[in-house]
Chains A and B, each alone.
Chain A
Amino acid sequence: MTKAPTPRERKEHRASVEVPALGPVGMARWAWRQLTKMSTALVLLLLLAIAAVPGSLFPQRVQDPGAVADYIKANPVMGPWLDRFQLFDVFSSYWFSAIYLLLFISLVGCVIPRALQHFKAWRSKPPRTPRRISRLPQYRRVMLGGRDGAEAPTPDNAIEQAAAALKKRGYRVQVQDLGTGAPSVAAERGMLKEVGNILFHVALLGVLISVAAGSLFGYKGQKVIVEGESFVNTLVDYDSFNPGTNFNADWLNPFSVTLNSFEATFNRDTADPDLYGQPTDFNADLTVRDSPGATPQDVNLAVNKPLNVDGTKVYLVGNGYAPVIRVKDGKGDVAYEGPVVTVPSDSVYTSSLTLKVPDARPDQLGFVGLLLPTAVSQDGSIPKSVDPGLNNPALILSSYTGDLGLDGGQPQNVYVLDTQGLTELNSMSNSNGPILLDGEHRKVDLPDGNGSIEFLDVKRYVGLDVHSDPGRIPAFVSFLVAFGGLIMSLFIARRRAWVRATETEDAQGVRCTVLEYGLLARGDDHRLGAEAEKLTALWTSLWEDRGVREYHLKSSDKA
């Protein structure tokens, strides 16, 4: 335990902070010494905590790039400045990285010497018995022998027995000065405390390196699959793909996944209207092939139950409805037929739909609108969805014709239709009104002979996240080591004990042996006194029949 600094210590402390007038090597050595000080580590830890806070105050690109863009748009003055200081990328920013890198350099500089020192301590013997054991924080004396005139063990004998008993208690022991009349044993236990401390710090470094490896060599991809469709783990098949900085596409393992069916369960308990219709369970039924020729396996995918294909994990992250639509163009040909993925926007799965039909002739067609899973219309007004379940699916759409602008080569968001430059055929505000399709009205002709749209069916789709993070397992193992090390370090006590035996006579003139023993803790150890008591009990059980009693000056004249 470190005591409050005495004035003199403080002065020394100050002296060591002053920059010595040394050359570059001296400066470097001085900087290194400053960096590897405990107080530096402490300040760096606090700085790290403070530096992490902005990461919760501002939207972060790692979390949601869209939110960052919106934030910058909403704050045109502050936004770019915040961006310049990397406040939207806190955890990959220069300043955050600088803090943790310094911290870990400090850690290495701190732990390596400690580890070496401990290795030496481990190999060497417990230190020599101090001349004055009585100076130790815990000090006791007992007198052996004299019970019904029983003989005491000789000092040498007593020390050997005490050493054996201490060894059994987990101490490593070193017997000294046998045959000198004042033999002693030096003992030490809890060497694993320091091992734990070192393991803990090294394993933290392991966690950091694992996480870094993950972000270098891992990847993340998203894919939406509609019931009945498949996905193959290749670069082209992804809707979006974020490789790690050093990722190589050849590393993708070629498994495939087919979505057989998807089921969402909703709360049907009417007791609390607020909760009615909340989702309670999502479940996807998949067929998985580990590699192109492998036997297919049926797998169940749920929200907290990812699929693991050789370390690549597939997560169920989203779901929704995909109405199956057939569009015929002005020439009467089928220009589109298939499911259209919609984006749910509320708790009753009112989902927005965007359909671009670039193959329609003579003019391209575009549709935007809503899918209502359970459409209910009151008094002829526009229908609304009242339930997330698929009870009365309906589509309300606006339609457009013209050049969709897809041929220009500019990438477009599939979920947004730019209606500028298009001719509106149907809409709320238009005399033709919107297109309304449901179970009864399956097909509508578009105005002015532009073709027709037919509502065939509704399928479900799932959004899958595919992740490969080679750092996951190493990070987990490092954590386990760190955790074990932490527990060892915090709850093992490191203590030294010394026992010395000398001869004396008690008041009755019986030859007795005085056993004096002291304990010293490394760090603060509130159980040191208890350990001293335990040792007393140990001696008592060893020599009970010969007599063990408190030793006091009056009963002896030869102390």
Chain B
Amino acid sequence: MNPIIEDYLRDVETSLRAPPEQKKLIVTELRGHLQEKLADLRAAAPDRADDDLAREVVRDLGNPHDLALAYTPEGGAVLKNSTGDTVLRVGKAVGRGAGKVLKYTAIGLAVLLVIGVGAGVWAYYEIKPLIEKNAPYPLYSIDPTCSHPCNTSQSQSFYVHPEAREVRMSLSAHGPGDFDERRPIHGTLHVLVTAPDGTVKYNHTFTALRSTHEEITWSAAQGDWTVAYRLESFEGALNVDVIAIGLPKDAWFD
């Protein structure tokens, strides 16, 4: 499968607001479209580079975010036609006018709202400490972009509090250029993450790929963690975010 098409489909899937199963079906349908069109273009122009054809194919389908958004349009009418029909049918069934049906419906909704607000207030005070304890606490972030070859090494550290349960790292790297003009990473990018006891938690060299995204979770170890980067003739962009989970709110300001 062409990496440009797969990148595109990943972007659509990320932007879709739908249950995972539905997302999968939408992406499968779009993949079929892209594959068949790519094959048609390939047959019509066998001399053209495959990546060039793939770029044309995804461009014809449109911006991945816009496409995802079109599946789940925002807004809509305040009262749908089907709701209006229901109101009239209920009115007819109970022998009252639509106005009265709406009035009693509004009273019912108001009662439910009061109950809901009460339950919400109770839940807020009951669950608040739990939410606070699971809120992500940002530890570290870096997002360098090299549009010209970069050659550098650097090491940075972040401190993990004793009460933290987990450390999560989100790492994205991609080659230079805009989405549909993206070129593979040039040169190499080496990332090394070390825990306070010197254990190597992550050690990877990125080279020649168009884009990648990784989510890694470690159990927290108190102390100073180190992230070391080595860039050799690197052209592309990197984004690293590290968060801690499990800190009580008062520990945030230590």
Please determine whether chains A and B interact with each other in the same assembly.
no
> B-contacting residues of A (Cβ < 8 Å)?
none
